[in-house]
Amino acid sequence: MATPARDISRLVSAEADRVYLCARQWDAARALGGPFGPRSNVERRGMISRLTAEGGAEFAAGAPAAALDAVIYCTGYEYRLPFLDLQALGLSTEQQRVAPLFQHLFVPAYGPGIAFIGLPFRAASFPLFELQAKLCARLLSGRASLPPPEEMAAWVEREEARRVAGGRPPGATHRFDHRQMAHHKWLAKSCGPDVQRVPDWTAAALHAYWAAAWAAFAVQQWARALSRLLSARKAV
């Protein structure tokens, strides 16, 4: 479930009688919960499995909807930079990422001459982007510096190897989750000693949160697999 879908559902729910918020991870009725939101008129559903001729919808999980006024598809974003000669820069925007970039910001061969602020998602966006902008300003004014191009290129290769080894798709390159703390610390350190670092307890709390979230997800997946196995045995 991406942030834009949640934001849109919240805005629409202020006017609509009922909003159905769909996501792939909600593939079992027990995971849906009850209505929520300021007006208690947002309901979770699995993905749409069929739109009916009568204007309703059926879902992978949850009760069908008898009639819908509109369906909004939140399919994500693709990067398009038609104002740049990507080939000359050695960049690509294929597979839902801008690559290769050092620290998700800089083209190694061009250093601070060109920067892509605001690419990370699944992060505390605005504090992170503000710090990215601060670093860019200090680089341009000579108050900060970047590693040599070969070191930046080596960092890109290591990060790509980690992504592949971790089984993450290319589109997850800029998805930060728990990795945002390391990026935040690098930005602050690169800016200089007058820029406040993230307190260690904040980083520890965030890592604990993500560890708990992944553990809960693993348990949920195990329960679903067990439920399917039991259902298959009953059918036999």
Give the tens place of pLDDT for each residue, 178-234.
788 889 999 999 999 999 876 665 666 666 766 676 676 667 667 667 766 777 776
DSSP string, 21-47: EE-TT--SGGGT-S-BTTTT-EEEE--
- Give residue limits of the domains in the chain: 3-59, 86-191
Task: Quick: pLDDT tens for 14-31.
Answer: 999 999 999 887 877 767
Task: Quick: pLDDT tens for 106-162.
Answer: 999 999 999 999 999 888 888 899 999 999 999 999 999 999 999 999 999 999 999
Both structure tokens of 40? 């208690």
The average confidence (pLDDT) of the chain is 88
C-alpha 98/C-alpha 90 separation (Å) is 11
Q: Under the phi-then-psi rule, with left for phi > 0, alpha for psi from -120 to 50, and beta for the rest, what region is 194?
A: alpha
Query: Of 51, 81, 49, 80, whose CA–CA distance to 66 is shortest?
Result: 51
In the block, residue with structure tokens 């739109």 = 51
Residue 147 phi, psi (nearest 5) = -65, 165
Query: Of 111, 121, 104, whose CA–CA distance to 183 is shortest?
Result: 104
Q: What is the pLDDT of residue 32?
A: 84
Q: What is the pLDDT of residue 200?
A: 62
Percent of the chain that is helix, strand, coil (3-state, to 5):
45, 10, 40
